[in-house]
Structure 1
Amino acid sequence: MTLALLALIALALALLPAVLAAVNLAILRTPEPAPTGGLVSILIPARNEAAVIEGTVRAALASRFVPVEVIVGDDHSTDETAAIVARVAAADPRLRLISVPALPEGWTGKNHACVALAAAARGERLLFLDADVTLAPVGAAALAAHAVTSGADLVSGVPRQVMETLGERLTVPMIDFLMLGYLPIALMRASPRPSLGAACGQMILIGRGAYAATGGHGAIRTSLHDGVRLPRLFREQGLRTDLVAGHALAACRMYRNFPQSWAGFSKNAHEGMATPMALPVWTLLLFGGHVLPWLVLAAALALGAGNAAALALAAALVSLGTRAAITLRVAEPAATIPLHPLAVCTALAIQWNVLLRPSRAGRAVWKGRSYAVGAAPKPQREPG
């Protein structure tokens, strides 16, 4: 295969996410907050979150335009999480602390905690927030308003991702890049196909009736990737899901360093890219569109192949331009843009490591618990 042909392939693979991102960025909007008249229950599962939980609950209590209750589920924390929440709750009756029951066999911790939280909630809408998510004052109202105007039973968005270390900047930006560069959001809204369902597990708003009808987190009890499984579950049962631009509605700092990021993205890889069918395709798309251009450009320059160099340079610029457009729109650090080829390589390394090293990837350890991982679980309905 000639360098010119390789460069042409790289350009085509770079143009695919560029076109999708252009369309997605044009149609994905931040919803406007509006009074909806119903109580929103903000539900926060928490296990050893003493470092962040006070800021999370105070931000949730500062919600405007809709009435809220905030419930924190203490999932057997061994730090001061429960004490901190209890102290804040003493001054604000809208905040409640519940103790999550012991984890049953066959459940993952977050799903079990979310079921307990939903059972304690009184609101018409359930807003599930990770404990490291800081909700904007208009966040709950905006998500609820979009649910009303769109008719969606599940609404999600990616919070603005806060990254301070190099390890975070090499991993976390791929969340928005993959969603905005490879998910056809217009088709997702037009088609009920379950495979098009997508959400961000950090922030998901669900109608109470739809949650009960589907079984909610209880129906995906073995899953470590609720951002994938919940919207697909809803679509399988004929319900609507939607995405909004979430960067102005909340902020989240997922991890603090590279080891945390590697472990975090590894734990749910089997329910994402890391399958024998999917990962080779994703490798072709990601490596071919965002790393190959630079390799071909270097080779073409070294060999004096002018046409190949021009095509490869065009592919590299398209790739970086796409990443820059997404990064700037979602308010992530601009310094992550030139790291894009390395971020793609890191993402693929995580996925291939999980797929090819079953002795280590056969179990995922998270928050001090070990879970068996494998193929995505089939939905299970709650008894009764």
Structure 2
Amino acid sequence: MLLILLTLTLIIWIAATIDAAIGFSKLDSLEKARDIETGALLSVIVAARNEEKHIQLSVQSQLVQTYQNVEWILVNDRSDDKTGSMMDELKEIDSRVKVIHLTSLPEGWLGKNHALFEGYQQASGSRILFTDADVMYSPGAFAKAVGYFEAHELDHMTAAPDLSAKPFWLKAFVAFFLFGFSYYKRPWLANNPKSKTGIGIGAFNMVTIDAYKKIGTHEQIKMRPDDDLQLGRKVKEAGLKQRMVTALKLIEVEWYPNLKEALAGLEKNTFAGLHYRISMVLFSIFGVFVSQVVPFFTIFSNTKAIAMLSAINLIFLASLYTMVTKKMTRFSPFLFFALPFTALLFIFSIIRASYLTFKRGGIIWRGTKYTLNELRKKNDL
């Protein structure tokens, strides 16, 4: 049985490595795009709930962008810290900033999705940039993004930021997360017009107003915790032109300050990503364990065939992991040696998120509870 499993996983890793090599070769770096300093009005929408630690620095990094024609709609989503007052201060120092203060959440909406939708209703630009409240931008980021967007006549573009992390195990976990995301979601397919696979990243989702209306706005994904991913999916399914790029030197976000908060953050969308199905949870746990933990131990097997198959598995695993870390992160590929431990940690996060979702009867996100029945009912896309 072990020989069969190792053979099957080897076939999978060979295919995934070839697929990634071809796919990553088609991902452009936004740093290489030409700058455009003026053009169509860009409406930047930032939704924030209790983001007093980040909102001011994030928006200030945007206000100094070299691209000139920008407006900002900052949406305070029922914050009970200083987020709202900080937004008002930003409005006072720059006339391009608008602020919306929300005090209630309509039934059937997740808070962030509702806030982004409310921001869109106040937008005047022909293009919208949905971004998070903790994202930091280099001064030329908007100019290069708009330049690339126009040059390729896009309807939607998403950019992979530099996910910064300081503690070793957090860094290793981020690298593992991006590794799994890459082979599971195959984000490069966003750049293939023949594929229906779409992608969206919360740090940077730029979309034309016409495309956003065509996909039905956030009203169509109002109960999705993974709204950023689903926005990209909707765009691609509508047959619109989409591109994913990397922007590791232009856009930076600290995913989470520590491993504990990373695990807590994954509570909201891990089970959603598995479509709230126990069968998918069990399949994911089994698949990750067999393909990414077992070979590290069976390489020491006394059975020559098992040891050899394990070694070849690890070679292709390392090749794929190195490709992902070099293209999607600024981390060292030597974090590969932590892979079996981060894989086990990821399995723990899946079990934990699923258990807590059932125990609570739903998810708790930014202080608001959304029931499991409600999420399942409204997430059948």
CA contact (8 A) 1:64 1:141 kept: yes
Residue 259 of structure 2 is matched in structure 1 by 258
- The reply on whether 1:11 has 2:10 as its aligned counterpart is yes
TM-score (norm 1): 0.87
Gaps of 5+ in 2: none
* Residues 279 and 193 (structure 1), Cα distance of their counterparts in 2 relative to 1, 3 Å cut: farther
* Residues 85 and 336 (structure 1), Cα distance of their counterparts in 2 relative to 1, 3 Å cut: farther
Shift of 1:327: 1.3
Tell me the distance in 1 between the aligned counterparts of 2:194 and 2:8: 32
Tell me the distance in 1 between the aligned counterparts of 2:179 and 2:218: 26
Shift of 1:218: 2.0
SS state at 2:157 partner: strand
Range moving further from structure 2, 79-88 or 202-211? 79-88
Range moving further from structure 2, 68-77 or 145-154? 145-154
Question: 1:339-364 CA distances to partner (integer Å, 9 max, x unpaired)?
Answer: 22222222233224444565326311
Tell me the distance in 2 between the aligned counterparts of 1:223 and 1:86: 29
Letter aligned with residue 164 of structure 1: K
SS state at 2:66 partner: coil
Tell me the distance in 2 between the aligned counterparts of 1:113 and 1:88: 18
Question: 1:20-63 CA distances to partner (integer Å, 9 max, x unpaired)?
Answer: 22122211111314326111111111111111111100111122
Shift of 1:170: 4.7
* Residues 95 and 286 (structure 1), Cα distance of their counterparts in 2 relative to 1, 3 Å cut: same
Residue 50 of structure 2 is matched in structure 1 by 48
Letter aligned with residue 38 of structure 1: A
Tell me the distance in 2 between the aligned counterparts of 1:71 and 1:7: 52
SS state at 1:171 partner: helix
CA contact (8 A) 1:10 1:292 kept: no
How many pairs does the alignment contain?
374
CA contact (8 A) 1:125 1:144 kept: no
Shift of 1:198: 1.6
Residue 102 of structure 1 is matched in structure 2 by 104
- The reply on whether 1:138 has 2:140 as its aligned counterpart is yes
Tell me the distance in 2 between the aligned counterparts of 1:83 and 1:357: 34
Question: 1:328-347 CA distances to partner (integer Å, 9 max, x unpaired)?
Answer: 33333326432222222222
Residue 22 of structure 1 is matched in structure 2 by 21
Question: 1:281-307 CA distances to partner (integer Å, 9 max, x unpaired)?
Answer: 544553333222112213x1xx2x334
Tell me the distance in 2 between the aligned counterparts of 1:5 and 1:331: 34
* Residues 377 and 241 (structure 1), Cα distance of their counterparts in 2 relative to 1, 3 Å cut: farther
The share of aligned pairs that are identical, in percent, is 24
Tell me the distance in 1 between the aligned counterparts of 2:254 and 2:189: 30
Gaps of 5+ in 1: none
* Residues 201 and 349 (structure 1), Cα distance of their counterparts in 2 relative to 1, 3 Å cut: same
Higher relative contact order (CA 8 A, sep 6+): 1
Question: 1:165-207 CA distances to partner (integer Å, 9 max, x unpaired)?
Answer: 355335333443234334445644335554x122112221111
SS state at 1:156 partner: strand
Tell me the distance in 2 between the aligned counterparts of 1:148 and 1:161: 26
Aligned-residue Cα RMSD (Å) equals: 2.6
TM-score (norm 2): 0.88
Question: 1:140-184 CA distances to partner (integer Å, 9 max, x unpaired)?
Answer: 233323332333322112211011235533533344323433444
Residue 312 of structure 2 is matched in structure 1 by 314
Range moving further from structure 2, 25-34 or 106-115? 25-34
Tell me the distance in 2 between the aligned counterparts of 1:34 and 1:102: 40
Question: 1:55-85 CA distances to partner (integer Å, 9 max, x unpaired)?
Answer: 1001111222352222211112111122223
Shift of 1:5: 4.3
